[in-house]
């Protein structure tokens, strides 16, 4: 019977996310030991880039506005001070972000100053009986910053509050006779409100899309992960073994070896200490395997009390030495409740013409040869002849 071939998991399934034992003994190159929400790092980078662009572009605009106000026939001191303060706030916030400080903190302070700028412009920024165009632009800019920092609902309520307050102040100035609203002013208010609604819809859609993508990534990740140990499951191991095999025969730079290990007398662990202790022993072994894995290698749970370590590019002799190191490490790391644990190891290198069935059957035969030979020992596929009694020191010579 042939083992089924499974497709390669999509790249999205390798994105990091939180799980209870994440980060414990993770080897370089692991893709299963995830530590944060999918897309969080990319989303932060995009938000950072957008915020920096807006802040850096805002500085020259504010300085130009300050120059225009200063050169006007009747410069207003409050507006001059406001433009200068806003420019300094933008410079400070950009510096904070580029220095690796909190993005949210810098943007929250910028949002607060922007809101004051909008309200000040709405009441005091009337020029020639019309509202300054800067107020509308700042309303939109502040809305963008709000969606970068707050949730969609909170940012929408904040933007609605600032827009409504600014509109009320403009109407108040109109009621006092200082402002003569024109059709152009009405168009600007309607256009700004439309843009704000569009920004809210886009922010809602973005969050909805991210939530669905997060769920999909989680489901894909769980399909390739053993629930108890957090290691790749047999489905994932099938796929990884497939990467070792060349259907046309072994070629330079390809191939590798497989180690299959089985915890000795594991039924006795469950019978003596209970199944919870047995589960804890399995996670203990998984932790040791994870610590021992090097970059590009895949430790996984084959099933029950059996584990596998896939070693790309490692010869049979090298795999035997790795198995012996694992055996010694297991002996030197007793489980706190169960005590010392031993395991039997089967080792096999890829051979020309191998397929999944042949390789797995060969390493499985080697494993049961080790168990039949007395357990707590290593047997390679090359040592599979009945009655072979040898130690690991002799393995390199036998396999060279």
| Residues assigned a catalytic role | 305
Contact 23, 33 (CB under 8 A): yes
State how far the alpha carbon of 152 is from the alpha carbons of 149, 160, 278, 316, 362, in Å: 9, 12, 46, 56, 57
Our CA angle for 367, 370, 374, nearest 5°, is 145
Q: What is the dihedral of CA 99, 47, 41, 220, to 10 degrees?
A: 180
Contact 119, 113 (CB under 8 A): no
- DSSP type of residue 382: G
Three-class SS state of 48: helix
Contact 268, 340 (CB under 8 A): no
- How many C-beta atoms surround the C-beta of residue 230 within 10 A? 20
First to last CA, the chain: 31
171-192 core/surface letters (b: 16 or more CB in 10 A; e: else) = eebbeeeebeeeeebeebbeeb
Three-class SS state of 44: helix
Our CA angle for 261, 264, 268, nearest 5°, is 140
Contact 255, 289 (CB under 8 A): no
Helix axes 152-175, 103-124, angle to 10 degrees: 20
């Amino acid at each position: 019977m042939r083992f089924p071939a499974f497709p390669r998991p999509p790249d999205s399934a390798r994105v990091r996310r939180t799980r209870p034992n994440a980060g414990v003994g993770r080897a370089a190159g692991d893709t299963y030991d995830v530590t944060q929400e999918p897309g969080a790092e990319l989303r932060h980078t995009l938000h950072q880039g957008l915020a920096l662009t807006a802040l850096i572009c805002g500085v020259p605009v504010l300085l130009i506005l300050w120059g225009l106000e200063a050169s006007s026939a009747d410069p207003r001191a409050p507006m001059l001070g406001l433009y200068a303060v806003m420019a300094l706030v933008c410079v400070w916030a950009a510096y904070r972000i580029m220095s690796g400080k909190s993005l949210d903190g810098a943007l929250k302070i910028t949002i607060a100053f922007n809101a004051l700028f909008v309200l000040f412009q709405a009441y005091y920024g009337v020029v020639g009986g019309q509202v300054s165009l800067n107020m509308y632009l700042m309303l939109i800019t502040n809305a963008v910053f709000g969606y970068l920092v707050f949730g969609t609902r909170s940012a929408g309520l904040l933007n609605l509050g600032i827009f409504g307050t600014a509109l009320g102040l403009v109407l108040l100035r109109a009621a006092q006779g200082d402002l003569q609203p024109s059709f152009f002013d009405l168009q600007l208010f309607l256009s700004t409100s439309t843009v704000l609604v569009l920004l809210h819809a886009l922010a809602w859609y973005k969050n909805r899309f991210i939530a669905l993508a997060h769920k999909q990534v989680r489901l894909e990740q769980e399909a390739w992960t053993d629930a108890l140990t957090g290691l790749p499951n047999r489905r994932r191991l099938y796929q990884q073994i497939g990467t070792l095999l060349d259907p046309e025969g072994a070629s330079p730079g390809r191939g590798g070896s497989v180690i299959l290990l089985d915890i000795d007398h594991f039924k006795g662990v469950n019978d003596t200490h209970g199944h919870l202790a047995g589960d804890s022993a399995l996670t203990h072994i998984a932790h040791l395997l994870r610590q021992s894995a090097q970059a590009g290698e895949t430790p996984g749970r084959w099933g029950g009390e059996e584990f596998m370590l896939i070693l790309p590019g490692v010869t049979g002799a090298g795999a035997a030495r790795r198995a012996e190191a694992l055996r010694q490490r297991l002996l030197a790391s007793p489980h706190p409740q169960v005590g010392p644990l031993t395991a039997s190891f089967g080792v096999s290198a890829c051979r020309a013409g191998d397929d999944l069935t042949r390789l797995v059957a060969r390493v499985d035969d080697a494993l049961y040869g080790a168990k039949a030979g007395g357990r707590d020992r290593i047997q390679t596929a090359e040592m599979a002849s009945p009655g072979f009694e040898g130690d690991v020191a002799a393995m390199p010579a036998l396999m060279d």
